[in-house]
Structure 1
Amino acid sequence: MTSDILITRVSRVEAKSVPMKWEWAEANRTFIETNWKRRTADTPKMFNGRVLLLNDLKFEQGLCRTTYFETDYADFIAWIDSGYPDKSIANGFAMGALRGSDGAFICGVMSAHTANAGRIYFPAGTPDLADLRPDGTVDLAESLTRELIEETGLRDGEFHVDDEWIIVQRWPTIALLRMVTMPMTAEEGAALIRANIAKESEPELQDVRIVRSVDDIDAEMMPLFLQSFFEWVFTHT
């Protein structure tokens, strides 16, 4: 895999989880444990639950097929902190590209107690066991709406999720996006979200940012895949 950006539209995404022994994690237990102690010293509320990482991605006509496996969050964080040494693995997550009725996008600014403090991107989360169904499928559509609601405080009826998926690949980051539109302007949507997070004692978001054009891209705090998405979307829509 390369670090080149690839952006693909598809009508469907199919995801499944298949058991796999992650050899990199097994070979680096000491580093993983040390890294977790360091991380939790800085952010003690981090929880070492089970997450789903992506190890296969294929495209057919109008379809994206993805395969996941389970691992500890501590393994995942150690892999990130050591510079993604296992190039066969990716962080593949569903993400709602939240926007107002005026077409401007609304990104969240992550709170200080989170693993990505200060980073700016759409609400999202690495898939976990809550997204895993009894038949082994991974419900990425549900993951998308759950993370959106949890982080922004929005409710059903306050947004519409498009059927189409936009797959942004910058291996080892794979963002599976859907456009999510609010029935109000981005300014009104941002105000609503700010009011929602102000009611929470420990919100995941500390603020939101509105992105109306490429001029609003924050090259320092936005991940590269998101910068590429904005460059693409403002060119192609």
Structure 2
Amino acid sequence: MSFDLPRNVILPVDAIDVRLDPGPHPFALSNAAAIAENWRQEMAANPALFDGTVVLLSELAYRDSRLVGRCHAVRFSTFMLWRKRRENSGAEHAYAHAVLVAGDNALVAIRMGRHTVNAGRVYFAAGSFEPVDFRDGLVDIDFNMIREVGEETGLDLSAAERGQRYHALSTASGTVIFRRYRVAETADELARRISAFVASEDEPEIEGPVIIRNATDLPDGLMGHMKPLIEWHFADSGEVR
């Protein structure tokens, strides 16, 4: 199957069947020495990095509004080398975004903290899939979304109104699976809550909230995949989809 899905277009997704293979990723096996050396350099540049566990895909396909794939647990150090050697690596990255929609229809994103890999970049609160996000080997997308938003912003989205379906956008840098999460509070109210949470943390993951009120006035540091998602939302934001 390898990687077989349309690129650079937003796809409707009704079902997600991405499974965790217990075996090692071939990229990790064939690049062990390079991974160790690159990690030494990364740690020298940013000692705050942590070599935790994330997942990388070895297969992903889109068929009949379904995403089907296989992934493997890898060390974060493996992921860091892959970011530099992703072309023809036999590996790709997928992650999820809870598109946080405030009661006034504005979007609430975050700016990442200075000590993180994506320092200063703006996107919806999110993180890579981890083994904890899988149930009986199958990824639980909404669990990942809610967990990551809670860890980074302090917000609990478990009772938020969810879009009726997922969507996905696959680019050369990875595949983002996203879904609207609507809450009653205004964007300013959400921003105040997030800022208070960040101020209470000893080592917050984010600098703070970023409010996006339309598709034309966009913040500095916006990640490349975000602009299509923002345009998608404001083009037809009246429908809970």
> Is TM > 0.5 for Structure 1 vs Structure 2?
yes
Q: In the TM superposition, what whole-angstrom CA distance separates every residue of 1:128-153 from its partner, at most 9, and x where no partner exists?
A: 111133x3212222111100111110
**How many Å separate the matches in 1 of 2:221 and 2:213?**
17
Paired residue secondary structure (2:139): coil
Paired residue secondary structure (2:42): helix
Q: Is 1:22 matched up with 2:25? A: yes
Partner residue of 2:172? 171
Measured after TM superposition, the shift of residue 175 of structure 1 is 0.5
| 135-144 vs 122-131, greater mean Cα deviation | 135-144
**How many Å separate the matches in 1 of 2:162 and 2:49?**
30
Q: In the alignment, is the contact (CA less than 8 A) between 1:5 and 1:225 conserved in 2? A: no
Measured after TM superposition, the shift of residue 64 of structure 1 is 2.3
Measured after TM superposition, the shift of residue 187 of structure 1 is 1.5
Over the aligned positions, Cα root-mean-square deviation in angstroms equals 2.2
Residue pairs, 1:46-65, within 5 angstroms: 46-65=49-68
| Candidates 76, 79, 82, aligned match of 2:79 | 76
**How many Å separate the matches in 2 of 1:159 and 1:197?**
21
Measured after TM superposition, the shift of residue 24 of structure 1 is 3.3
Partner residue of 2:137? 136
Residue pairs, 1:188-227, within 5 angstroms: 188-218=189-219, 221-227=221-227
> Which ranges of structure 2 fall in alignment gaps of 5 or more residues?
none
**How many Å separate the matches in 2 of 1:88 and 1:233?**
32
The 1:38/1:227 distance shift into structure 2, 3 A limit, reads same
Q: In the TM superposition, what whole-angstrom CA distance separates every residue of 1:164-203 from its partner, at most 9, and x where no partner exists?
A: 1111111341111111112111111111111111111111
Residue pairs, 1:114-193, within 5 angstroms: 114-133=116-135, 135-156=136-157, 159-193=160-194
Measured after TM superposition, the shift of residue 117 of structure 1 is 0.8
Q: Is 1:36 matched up with 2:36? A: no
Work out the number of aligned pairs and report it: 234
Measured after TM superposition, the shift of residue 20 of structure 1 is 4.6
Partner residue of 2:8? 5
**How many Å separate the matches in 2 of 1:206 and 1:150?**
13
* TM-score w.r.t. length of structure 2: 0.87
The 1:139/1:157 distance shift into structure 2, 3 A limit, reads closer
Measured after TM superposition, the shift of residue 231 of structure 1 is 2.5
The 1:60/1:23 distance shift into structure 2, 3 A limit, reads closer
Q: In the alignment, is the contact (CA less than 8 A) between 1:9 and 1:62 conserved in 2? A: yes
Letter of the structure 2 residue corresponding to residue 26 of structure 1: L
Q: In the alignment, is the contact (CA less than 8 A) between 2:112 and 2:118 conserved in 1? A: yes
The 1:158/1:136 distance shift into structure 2, 3 A limit, reads closer
Q: In the alignment, is the contact (CA less than 8 A) between 2:96 and 2:141 conserved in 1? A: yes
Q: In the alignment, is the contact (CA less than 8 A) between 1:186 and 1:210 conserved in 2? A: yes
| 145-154 vs 159-168, greater mean Cα deviation | 159-168
Q: In the TM superposition, what whole-angstrom CA distance separates every residue of 1:99-126 from its partner, at most 9, and x where no partner exists?
A: 2011110110001121111111001111
**How many Å separate the matches in 2 of 1:161 and 1:152?**
18
Measured after TM superposition, the shift of residue 158 of structure 1 is 6.6
Paired residue secondary structure (2:138): coil
Q: In the alignment, is the contact (CA less than 8 A) between 1:152 and 1:197 conserved in 2? A: yes
| Candidates 86, 99, 102, aligned match of 1:100 | 102
Paired residue secondary structure (2:110): strand
Measured after TM superposition, the shift of residue 3 of structure 1 is 9.4
